[in-house]
Structure formats: structure tokens, C-alpha cells
A and B are shown apart, each in its own frame.
Chain A
């Protein structure tokens, strides 16, 4: 007798919990829906592997923290860059490449 009362109480609380959870679900869904929508609008994340640090594990010492590569964000004319190209047979040995952005 005692156990059947316990069973009824357990069933009732389960039903109650289910009812509350089903009411809460749409709110949860809205959040999830926003994420899905965002992902869909983006199409694909260009930098999906942001958590992968190049050869350095996850120690945050890589170049992943700052995506600014010194170019377009700074406005105005970017300083000319002069550097020695690789020996791939395309470049005259000993010459320098020169780049300028406007």
C-alpha cells in the first residue's frame, strides 16, 4: 500500500516535471534556433579551426589571438614592404620584392 502511494507520487511528479519541461523547451529552442540561423546565414565559418593553434597546442602563444595582419584595418596607405623572395627560379637572385597598398 505504501509502495503504491509512493509510485503514484513519483508518477505525478514525473508528469509535473514533463509538463514544466515542455513549457520551458520553446525558450531553450529560441536560443538554439538563433545559433542555427546565424550559422546558416554565415554559410560556413572561414576560421572553423580557431581552437587549433599552429604547432603550439592550446597555450595561446600562437598567432590566433589577433587576426589583424597589419593591413587594411589601419586606414591610409600601408607602408611599402620590401623583402627577399625565395629561390624558386622566378625571381632574380639578390633582388627584393616590394609591395605597397593604397
Chain B
């Protein structure tokens, strides 16, 4: 019984800090009615110095098109290892993509920025269509895109 309690105490002590340091964050991207084929989107994070940190999501499954997501491609060299398990379908004109991720709290209010590159077939590429600082105060506030994205919000 004592050993059970000890194990329980240890696992609780280990798990509570993890829970305290992470929270689900929902990213909602609403596309404009731009009239073309489904758009490829790359969501990725840079640090305060603008250095690529990691990817959060890739909308679009054909790797040969990733070169058109220019900011992401430049940062990663098109390495698909960066997006294993976080790749979904491209997003059609007028549709919205809602992604929920458990992210480390340390990403917020620490100078990190979320970038979204967008591109659609036979239409112009739109690197950094969205660039938004990840802050607590920015949660729930809509940001407008310039070409394909009508608006974008993240919510903690």
C-alpha cells in the first residue's frame, strides 16, 4: 500500500507540472471566396529573432507543392519530417479550418510569432499572409489576411 501511494505521489508530481505548462489552443482560419482550387497553408512558429522554431500544421498533402509555401519552405528546406502527423487536406475557397493543438504555455508572451503561408494552384503565392505574435492578449482577436485568408484567430 505504501509503495502504491509513493508511486501515485510521484506520478502526480510529474504530471501536474506538465498539465500546468500546456493548454489546448484552437486556431481557426477562414478562407476568402477567392474562387480557385483548395489552398495549401503552412502554419509555423518563429522565435523573437525570427528564427524558425517548428511547424504547427500543414494543410495540403502533396509534397511537391510545398515549395510554393515560400517562407516555410525556405525555413525547412521542405523537410516533411517537420510536419509528420500534422498534415491535413488543403482548404477550399470559402471554407474554414479549425485546428486544436496542445501547446506549451512557454510559447505565449515570449516573442514567438505564428506565420501562415498560403498558395493555391495557378494563383499567386502568399508567404507570411498572416504573421501574428502569440500573446495572451491576442487570444480570440481576429486578424485579416491579405489574399486567401479572410481572417484568422487563435484561442487558448
Contacts and interface: CB of A to CB of B under 8 A. Distances in A.
Q: Answer whether A and B are interacting partners.
A: yes
B38 interface: yes
A33 interface: no
A42 B85 contact: no
Contacts of B45: 90
Nearest to A63: B62
Size range of the chain A interface in the assembly: 35 or more
Nearest to B124: A43
A46 to B, nearest CB: 5
Given A46-B122, A69-B89, A70-B89, A101 B56 contact: no
B83 interface: yes
B82 A88 contact: yes
A91 B101 contact: yes
B19 to A, nearest CB: 9
Contact of B61 (A70, A90, A95): A70
Size range of the chain B interface in the assembly: 35 or more
Interface residues of chain B: helix, strand, loop or mixed (majority): mixed
Given A42-B122, A43-B124, A89 B62 contact: no
Given A90-B104, A97-B85, A71 B38 contact: yes
Contacts of A97: 57, 85-86, 99-101
A42 B122 CA distance: 6
A64 B65 CA distance: 11
Contact of A47 (B38, B59, B64): B64
7 contacts: A46-B119, A46-B122, A47-B64, A47-B65, A89-B54, A92-B103, A101-B97
Given A54-B63, A97-B86, A102-B95, 7 more contacts: A69-B60, A71-B38, A72-B91, A72-B93, A73-B92, A83-B86, A90-B45
